[in-house]
Amino acid sequence: MGSTAPAAFEARKTPVQARSGVTVDAIHEAAIQVLLSHGPDRLTTTRVATRAGVSVGTLYQYYPHKQALLYAVMERHLNRVVAAVERACGESLGKPIPAMVDAVIQSFVDAKMERADVSRALYAVAAEMNSISLIRHTGERARTALAAMLRTAPGARFERLEETVQMLYAAMAGTTRHVMENGARPEAVGMLRRELRMLAESYLLRSADGRGE
């Protein structure tokens, strides 16, 4: 899968050997830790390299500046989340709508909450990273997977499937972000899972019989 990064944020090279992959993983995790401990304004390539245990020169072999590094961290995070949605959709083909909803919501919330601190930190830098194309690209992947899954729902007839999927994904992303930005307390996350399932299931069941206009 090709990168969606703007030219100014493109990585200089991608790892092709296992050792290089380990180095990049360490750089990414170090960037996350520095972002969490110092914030985006005080994140520097020197701090990240020190935390990762590599030289600044090694970091620059992959990323020309901190913006390129942060973009790569965000890209990896979003790809991990959308991959979880794609897997859930693929495994739910042909199942009843309630089962589809349960699998997709569970997978999406799990992926976002696995590193809720990282998700919150990346929300804070997304606006300044020119990440609109990246967010749009990963959103399109998720919506494509959701639409492919819903087409196989037994007895369902979605007259406006594209619009239905857009609203479903917006509800998933928006409510989850709200909970995370308010601290992602366990009780709030539990309520998110429960209420989001109810919302999505009711909406899809209504839309599936042509009454969703």
Predicted pLDDT of residue 16: 47
SS (H, E, C) 166-203: HHHHHHHHHHHHHHHHCCCCHHHHHHHHHHHHHHHHHH
Q: For residue 22, what are the domain limits?
A: 10-64
Residue 79's pLDDT is 93
Q: 201 and 136, same structural domain? A: yes
Cβ pair 148, 92 in contact under 8 A = no
- Clarify whether residues 123 and 172 are in a common domain: yes
As given in the structure block, the two tokens for residue 104 are 């997709």
Instruction: Give the per-residue pLDDT at 103.
Output: 98
Task: Write down the pLDDT at residue 209.
Answer: 80
Q: Percent of the chain beyond pLDDT 70? A: 87
Residue 17 pLDDT > 60: no
Task: Give the residue with greater pLDDT, 6 vs 149.
Answer: 149
Query: Residue 142 phi/psi, 5° resolution?
Result: -65, -45
pLDDT-wise least confident of 98-107, 139-148, 201-210: 201-210
CB of 86 closer than 8 Å to CB of 145 = yes
86 phi/psi in degrees, rounded to 5: -60, -40
**How many angstroms separate the Cα of 138 from the Cα of each of 24, 46, 75?**
22, 30, 9
**Confidence tier at 120 by pLDDT (50, 70, 90):** confident
Number of domains in the chain: 2
| 147 in the same domain as 94 | yes
Taking residue 55's Cβ as centre, other Cβ atoms within 10 Å add up to 12
Task: Return the half-sphere exposure (C-beta side, CA atoms, 13 A cut-off) of residue 194.
Answer: 6
Residue 16 belongs to a domain with what CATH number?
1.10.10.60
Mean pLDDT over the full length of the chain? 87
- Stronger pLDDT, 124 or 4, i.e. the higher one: 124
- Average pLDDT estimate for 162-167: 96
One domain for residues 148 and 98: yes
- Weakest-pLDDT range from 18-32, 53-67, 115-129, 159-173: 115-129
Is residue 5 domain-resident? no
11-25, 27-41, 158-172: least confidently modelled range: 11-25
* CATH number of the domain where residue 83 is located: 1.10.357.10
- In this prediction, residue 3 has a pLDDT band, given cuts at 50, 70 and 90, of low
| pTM for the structure as a whole | 0.83
Q: 88 and 162, same structural domain?
A: yes
Contacts of 199 (CB under 8 A, 6+ apart): 171, 175
50 and 93 in a single domain? The answer is no
pLDDT above 80 (res 131): no
